[in-house]
Chains A and B, each alone.
Chain A
Amino acid sequence: MSEVNGPSERFRLHVNGADREVVDAFAGASLLNVLRDHLGLPAVKGACEQGECGSCSVLLDGTLVCSCLVLAASATGREIVTLEGLTPAAGLSDVQRAFIEEGAVQCGFCTPGLITAVHDLLDRRPDPADADIREALAGNLCRCTGYGRVFAAVRTAAAWRRGEAETH
């Protein structure tokens, strides 16, 4: 049983492979708030704070969720991975490279959430049909691209994972 009382209690989260101490967070704070503002992980974007937009998507025990809907103090003992944790120490992940290759980024605000969701999709389903891609990304709002280039990036990353050569 874990207990977190009031705003001054400390608790520990396991984030991107490391134990992180959370100090002075409001006990009712969302995981989004704690990851961004207490643990310095800015790939977790805050926009709607009601689960509509997907820009705060993270992996919680390997499952894609909106971190704005996770009570941070209830996530002790769980494996949290943000896009920072999906990005190799040097260079970029295949999904990140595919987004660049296909020009799938415009303003960029939704991009970390989308890339996290695409990692989740391709890890579960390496060769998704277009309908699978649409369903998997239905919880990630992008108001710039119209999604065409985002879907192209998913297909490109999937092709690379099948062994087709990268074009650059």
Chain B
Amino acid sequence: MGWDAGDIVATMSVTSPDSLDAALAALADNPAAHVLAGGTDMMVELNFGRRSPAPVVSVGRIPELRGIDVDRSARFVRLGAAVTFSEFLASEAASQAPALAQAARTVGSLQIRNAGTFGGNLATCSPAGDTLPVLVALSATVELASRDGRRRVPVEEFMVGPKRSALKPGEIVAGVTVPIIDGWQGFATVGTRNAMVIAVCNAALVVDRHDRSVRLAMGSVGPTILRAPEAESVAARMLFGAEPTSARADLLVEFERRASAAVSPIDDQRSTADYRRHAVGVIARRLLDRASREMP
């Protein structure tokens, strides 16, 4: 580890509050403290000396952050920030947000899904975060809490850049609310194996039959999760318009082209920008193809 022992004595401490109020008070007293949830990101940085030692407020066991609520009449699912991917997958909420369940199941390995949380995925705000394209495509709302109160932010506004979110000092993610959509939804991801990959690219497609709209959100192909309005309008035409069946193949190709055109990927160790642009169009088209065949 790369730190001087004297720094560690001075700066490292671990607080494990029993309640959300106690956690928010601890953060208000020390806005520079790091918030620890499942540990799957922060501990890697600590283990490799990439994160300077700082006070840590551990929120993973706080009861108010661990709830899973399904409200079928108001048509939403609420996940507390410290709900793990495994807890969500084992709950009735998973069947109400099937694309989110597909994404949660692709996270890491069982060990990682048992530790990693929705709040952590949001707060880390990686462009490759597995659940983030789904949350964007589902128009989820992030709940933020600080000692001064609570506010709700659409997930698209919460993410402002690579690993940069709308969180203010002293504020934590308290939960995320996901609408239950009548229609079709799916998630697809590209990586070198099924487990333990950071996505080369991923995508979520949500078809809302109620307002006859389609939302496509793509990850790991830009600084934040990206929507593709021009592709979405093609998909809506294909699924809800009066297009003849013979136009289907052409519309799928047009949808793929517009999805690829909407992204701004980079070259990195996982992939090239060119491959990402190509691959994200392919998985977006496959999602739309599946939606058109499977939608009831």
Q: Does B261 contact A (CB under 8 A)?
A: no
Q: Does A128 contact B (CB under 8 A)?
A: no
User: Is the CB–CB distance between B114 and A64 below 8 Å?
Assistant: yes
Residues of chain A contacted by B48 (CB below 8 angstroms):
49-50
Can you list 10 A-B pairs, Cβ within 8 angstroms, ordered by A? A1-B18, A2-B15, A3-B16, A6-B9, A6-B10, A7-B8, A28-B12, A117-B111, A135-B195, A138-B196
Q: CA of A54 to CA of B112 in the docked complex: distance in angstroms?
A: 10
Q: Does A41 contact B (CB under 8 A)?
A: no
A-B CB pair tally, cutoff 8 Å? 125
Residues of chain A contacted by B271 (CB below 8 angstroms):
none
User: Is the CB–CB distance between A54 and B109 below 8 Å?
Assistant: yes
Closest to B19 in A: A1
Q: Does B259 contact A (CB under 8 A)?
A: no
User: Is the CB–CB distance between B8 and A66 below 8 Å?
Assistant: no
Q: Which of A52, A64, A69 contacts B110 (CB 8 A)?
A: A64
User: Is the CB–CB distance between B195 and A138 below 8 Å?
Assistant: yes
Instruction: Knowing A50-B44, A71-B58, say if A7 contacts B5 (CB, 8 Å).
Output: yes
Determine chain B's interface SS by DSSP, over half rule.
mixed
Q: CA of A96 to CA of B17 in the docked complex: distance in angstroms?
A: 39
User: Is the CB–CB distance between B8 and A28 below 8 Å?
Assistant: yes
Interface residues in chain A, defined as those with a beta carbon under 8 Å from any beta carbon in chain B:
1-8, 26-28, 30, 49-52, 54, 57, 63-66, 68-71, 73-74, 76, 78, 117, 120, 135-136, 138-140
Q: Which of B17, B22, B39, B56 contacts A69 (CB 8 A)?
A: B39
User: Is the CB–CB distance between B13 and A1 below 8 Å?
Assistant: no
User: Is the CB–CB distance between A63 and B86 below 8 Å?
Assistant: yes
User: Is the CB–CB distance between A3 and B44 below 8 Å?
Assistant: no
Residues of chain A contacted by B86 (CB below 8 angstroms):
63
